[in-house]
């Protein structure tokens, strides 16, 4: 589904990311871990063609992301608050995303119904702009919006940060179900090794922009990761 | 303590992002500041003599008094849109051992140092000098001057009260409109009312206590309001507005661009900054009055053509020049969602053009000045839609200054979303119409000139698709730079 070939990114001569080769097959739940500044967000931004690669290319289902816009219909993401439109209410925002992905208003209402529990009554029908919601609630709205329109690839940067424990557990269930039952390719990054090992089948650790570990999840994975980061 | 505050203030000012901008902008801003200050000062000096010359039988001071009421209303409206409330980052100060009332007094006191309080001084002080020179009573004039200054200062604080509540604002706008209408049809002579209120400030010296009382009152109201806000709830807890959701279904007829149009409508309606810009755009509608009412321009068609472009181009110029900065807060979403650039740009073009069409309809009253004038406006409108709209969008590709939607632009610090490239891109919008008008006009007369102007516009509309393709390519090319610039805060 996603092919990374010789991708690198440098800012003013300083290399922040260098990945010779990485392939993520369809339906895989892929976790990216690393310390601050390791290059997680840089990689995701490259996947979404938000920054220009210094070399190499990324293909998404055969489409080179920096050459064509054709990958957009099946790819969705929530990276940070700049993916929210602050002056809309949550509903208006969902409808807007729905419009962009060819999902009608009624279908959106149907789609949102199962999330009532996830939203905990703090997002829908609040008569509040998104910019006035708390950080956690903004994140919930952003994550759910990224699920609209049955995307084949979902990219989430730090989805567990700022969420309360109940929501974290619900989100983990949701992500697992999406990848197992609907063959959605899920890419998440996190600082929390537990969450990542919980959700993902494959975990990649990066450090200074380079891949240090590439693990299929087993019983020993968490331990191995903890040892890697304990220095 | 105040010195410490001032030090913080200076750091905030000198280290803010807009101050780090190019030297050109700084010079331009300083130039504008001096220009407007000089204008106010010269007006102050000249006012007495101009009125004396124009209306020899009237006392200029009485004449001035008869308009002061309108000045107050206009001043309030302008302050509402451009004057920034005194904001200080008080959250970190709350846990430090500083007396609350000191901070509040400082905040309010600081607001006095604003251009909106400077220009009355620049205007009224020279005027008072001229009055004394022309043997008005020295004491009376000085008391009058003090009175006016106090009123102006009170306006400074009244503005804050208005700012907290939209109803106040709309009532003031309504008041202005009603006053003008009532005055125009001479139901009530507001000029006479104004004279009755303000002339006594000159003749009766005891009236000085009234503005003093007013100033103290509005200061107290503000003081207690801010003091109340001075708690975690008030500062940290964001105040959230209750939202009225409108479906805006009438926009669905625009098909694929409808979602974007709906967004833009909401964006304009729900954010401070675009509202401010919209208001400025509406003011452009009245631009023609400056030219069409004066006989010296009556036979200078090439000057009137300028007015023609501006009357219908207000929204295009003020709103259009900030595309795509309007979406800077969520530009990453726009760039990674399922949105082709083409549709995005198309919707912006539609919005700008609709603004022109609405302005064209609203400018129908200009027929009062003759069909020739309206023909010029109409031709200007076609040019705006068919040519200037594209130039504006093209210029947007080079515009990489983020805009904070819900923060007011400051007067003279309005460098947010403004840069020299923007200015240079703006030039063709003014020069091109002159060229396509003037050449046929010079050889074949007015009709040919208008055909040249409108024809260029029609040509632009016919060539819309290839032109939009070109613009789209330019946007694509600058995409990464724009995203990077917009994510800098």
Q: Are A214 and A230 in contact (CB under 8 A)?
A: no
Q: What is the pLDDT of residues B1-40, one digit of tens each?
A: 677 777 877 776 666 555 555 566 667 777 877 888 888 8
Show residues of chain A in contact with B240, CB under 8 Å.
128-129, 132
Across the A:B interface, residue pairs with CB atoms under 8 Å apart total 88
Set of chain A residues whose Cβ sits within 8 Å of the Cβ of B262: 96
Residue A49 to residue B336, Cβ atoms within 8 A: yes
Query: B342 with B348: CB under 8 angstroms?
Result: no
- 10-residue mean pLDDT profile of chain B (489 residues): values are 74 60 66 84 88 84 85 81 65 74 81 82 89 86 89 88 69 74 73 82 82 90 79 52 73 83 90 84 82 71 80 88 88 88 89 92 88 89 93 84 72 46 74 86 87 92 94 90 82
Length of chain B: 489
- State the smallest CA–CA distance between residue B486 and chain A in angstroms: 10
> CB–CB of B266 and A87 under 8 A?
yes
Q: Report whether pLDDT(A155) > 90.
A: yes
Nearest Cα to B265, choosing from B244, B284, B286, B285?
B244
- Is the bond leading into B324 cis (omega within 30 degrees of zero)? yes
Total residues belonging to chain A: 231
Report which of residues B174 and A162 the model is more confident about. A162
**Using CA atoms, how far apart are residues B177 and B171, in angstroms rounded to an integer?**
10
Boundaries of every domain in chain B = 21-236, 249-487
A175 pLDDT above the threshold of 80: yes
pLDDT for the residue B166: 62
DSSP class of B243: P
**DSSP element (H, E) containing A187:** strand A185-190
Per-residue pLDDT tens over the stretch A80-127: 888 999 999 999 999 999 999 999 999 999 999 999 888 988 888 888
Smallest CA–CA distance from A44 into chain B, residue: B336
**Could you give the 3-state DSSP secondary structure of residue B441?**
helix
Give the max Cα distance, chain B. 78
Q: What is the pLDDT of residue A125?
A: 87
pTM above 0.80, yes or no: no
pLDDT of res. B111: 80
- For residue A149, list chain B residues with Cβ-Cβ distance below 8 A: 338
User: Whole-angstrom Cα distance, residue B421 to residue B416?
Assistant: 13
Q: Which residues, including other chains, have CB under 8 Å from residue B258's CB and lie 6 or more apart?
A: A99, B251, B252
Contact A8, A15 (CB under 8 A): yes
B25 versus A143: which is more confidently predicted? A143
Handedness of CA B160, B164, B169, B172 (dihedral sign): negative
Residues of B in contact with A131 (CB under 8 A): 406
Q: What is the pLDDT of residue B469?
A: 93
Nearest to B333 by CA among A32, A83, A226: A83
| CA neighbours closer than 13 Å in the CB half-sphere of residue B6 | 6
- Inter-chain contact A86–B329, Cβ cutoff 8 Å? yes
Mean pLDDT along residues A204-220: 90
> What is the model's pLDDT at position B174?
78
Which of B266, B338, B341 minimises the CB distance to A88? B266
Distance, in angstroms, between A178 CA and closest chain B CA? Answer: 20
Using an 8 Å CB-CB cutoff, list residues of chain A that contact chain B.
Answer: 48-52, 69, 72-73, 75-77, 79-80, 82-89, 91-92, 96-97, 99-101, 127-129, 131-132, 149
Which of A92, A122, A126, A137 to mutate against chain B (most B CBs within 10 Å)? A92
| CA–CA distances in Å: residue B439 to residues B243, B349, B426, B460 | 53, 28, 21, 18
- Closest-CA distance, B466 to chain A, in angstroms, reads 20
CB A21 within 8 A of CB A204: no
The CA R_g of chain B, rounded to the nearest whole Å, is: 25
Mean pLDDT, range A148-170, rounded to an integer: 92
> In whole angstroms, what is the distance from residue A120 CA to residue B75 CA?
48
CA dist list (Å): A56 to B61, B93, B228, B286, B452: 76, 50, 58, 56, 51
Cα→Cα distances B117→B93, B122, B150, B152, B280, Å: 28, 9, 10, 7, 21
The residue among B303 and A228 whose pLDDT is bigger is A228
pLDDT of residue B237: 46
Q: Is B242 on the interface with A (CB under 8 A)?
A: yes
How distant is the alpha carbon of residue B302 from its chain centre?
26
Q: Which helix (H) or strand (E) holds B301?
A: helix B301-318
Cα–Cα distance measured from residue B302 to residue B299, given in angstroms and rounded to the nearest whole number: 9
**Residues of A in Cβ contact (< 8 Å) with B258:** 99
Asked if A87 lies within 8 A of B335 by C-beta distance, the reply is: no
Interchain contact B468–A (C-beta under 8 A)? no
Whole-number Å distance between alpha carbons of B162 and B155 = 10
- The pLDDT assigned to B201 comes to 80
Q: What is the pLDDT of residue B408?
A: 63
DSSP A208: T
Quote the CA–CA distance of B69 and B57 in Å, as a whole number: 22
pLDDT at residue number B235: 47
CA angle B346, B347, B349 (to 5 degrees): 65
Determine contact, residues A83/A130, Cβ cutoff 8 Å: no
């Amino acid at each position: 589904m996603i092919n990374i070939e010789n991708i690198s990114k440098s800012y003013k001569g300083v290399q922040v990311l260098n990945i010779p080769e990485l392939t993520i097959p369809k339906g895989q739940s892929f976790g990216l871990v690393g310390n601050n500044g390791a290059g997680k967000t840089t990689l995701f931004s490259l996947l979404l063609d938000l920054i220009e690669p210094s070399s190499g290319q990324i293909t998404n289902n055969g489409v080179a992301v920096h050459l064509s816009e054709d990958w957009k219909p099946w790819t969705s993401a929530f990276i940070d608050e700049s993916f929210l439109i602050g002056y809309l209410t949550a509903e208006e925002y969902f409808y807007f995303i729905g419009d962009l992905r060819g999902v009608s208003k009624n279908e959106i209402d149907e789609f949102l119904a199962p999330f009532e529990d996830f939203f905990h009554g703090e997002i829908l029908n609040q008569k509040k702009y998104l910019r006035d919601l708390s950080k956690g609630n903004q994140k919930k709205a952003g994550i759910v919006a990224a699920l609209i329109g049955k995307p084949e690839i979902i990219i989430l940067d730090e989805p567990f940060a700022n969420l309360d424990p109940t929501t974290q557990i619900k989100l983990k269930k949701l992500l697992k179900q999406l990848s197992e039952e609907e063959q959605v390719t899920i890419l998440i990054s996190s600082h929390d090794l537990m969450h990542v090992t919980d959700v993902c089948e494959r975990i990649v650790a990066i450090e200074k922009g380079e891949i240090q570990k590439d693990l299929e999840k087993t019983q020993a994975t968490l331990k191995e990761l903890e040892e890697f980061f304990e220095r | 303590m105040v010195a410490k505050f001032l030090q913080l203030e200076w750091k905030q000012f000198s280290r803010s992002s807009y101050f780090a901008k190019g030297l050109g902008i700084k010079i331009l801003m300083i130039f504008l500041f001096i220009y407007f200050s000089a204008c106010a000062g010269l007006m102050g000096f000249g006012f007495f003599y101009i009125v004396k010359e124009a209306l020899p039988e009237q006392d200029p001071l009485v004449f001035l008094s008869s308009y002061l009421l309108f000045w107050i209303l206009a001043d309030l409206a302008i302050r509402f849109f451009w004057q920034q409330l005194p904001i200080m980052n008080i959250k970190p100060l709350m846990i430090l051992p500083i007396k609350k009332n000191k901070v509040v007094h400082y905040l309010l006191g600081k607001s006095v140092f604003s251009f909106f309080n400077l220009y009355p001084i620049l205007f009224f002080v020279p005027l008072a000098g001229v009055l004394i020179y022309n043997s008005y009573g020295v004491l009376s004039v000085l008391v009058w001057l003090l009175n006016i200054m106090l009123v102006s200062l009170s306006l400074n604080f009244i503005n804050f009260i208005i700012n907290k509540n939209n109803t106040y604002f709309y009532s003031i706008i309504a008041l202005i409109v009603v006053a003008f209408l009532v005055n125009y049809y001479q139901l009530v002579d507001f000029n006479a009312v104004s004279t009755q209120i303000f002339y006594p400030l000159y003749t009766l010296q005891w009236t000085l206590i009234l503005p003093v009382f007013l100033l103290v009152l509005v200061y107290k109201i503000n003081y207690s309001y801010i003091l109340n806000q001075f708690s975690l709830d008030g500062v940290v807890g964001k105040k959230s507005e209750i939202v009225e959701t409108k479906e805006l279904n009438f926009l669905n007829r625009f098909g694929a661009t409808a979602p974007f149009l709906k967004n833009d409508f909401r964006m304009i309606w729900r954010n401070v900054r675009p509202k401010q810009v919209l208001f400025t755009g509406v003011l452009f509608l009245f631009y023609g009055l400056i030219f069409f009412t004066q006989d010296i321009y009556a036979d200078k068609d090439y000057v009137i053509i300028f007015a023609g472009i501006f009357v219908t181009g207000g929204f295009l110029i003020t709103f259009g020049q900030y595309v795509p900065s309007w979406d800077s807060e969520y530009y990453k979403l726009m760039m990674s969602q399922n949105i082709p650039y083409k549709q995005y740009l198309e919707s912006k073009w539609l919005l700008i053009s609709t603004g022109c069409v609405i302005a064209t309809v609203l400018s129908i009253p200009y027929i009062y000045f003759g069909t020739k004038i309206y023909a010029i406006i109409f031709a200007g409108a076609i040019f705006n839609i068919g040519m200037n709209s594209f130039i504006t969008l093209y210029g947007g590709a080079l515009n990489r200054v983020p805009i904070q939607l819900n923060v007011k632009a400051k007067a003279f610090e309005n460098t947010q979303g403004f840069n020299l490239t923007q200015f240079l891109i703006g030039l063709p919008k003014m020069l091109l119409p002159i060229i396509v008008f003037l050449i046929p006009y010079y050889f074949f007369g007015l009709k040919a000139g208008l055909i040249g102007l409108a024809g260029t516009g029609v040509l632009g509309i016919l060539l819309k698709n290839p032109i939009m393709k070109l613009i789209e390519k330019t946007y694509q090319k600058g995409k990464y730079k724009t995203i990077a610039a917009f994510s800098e805060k």
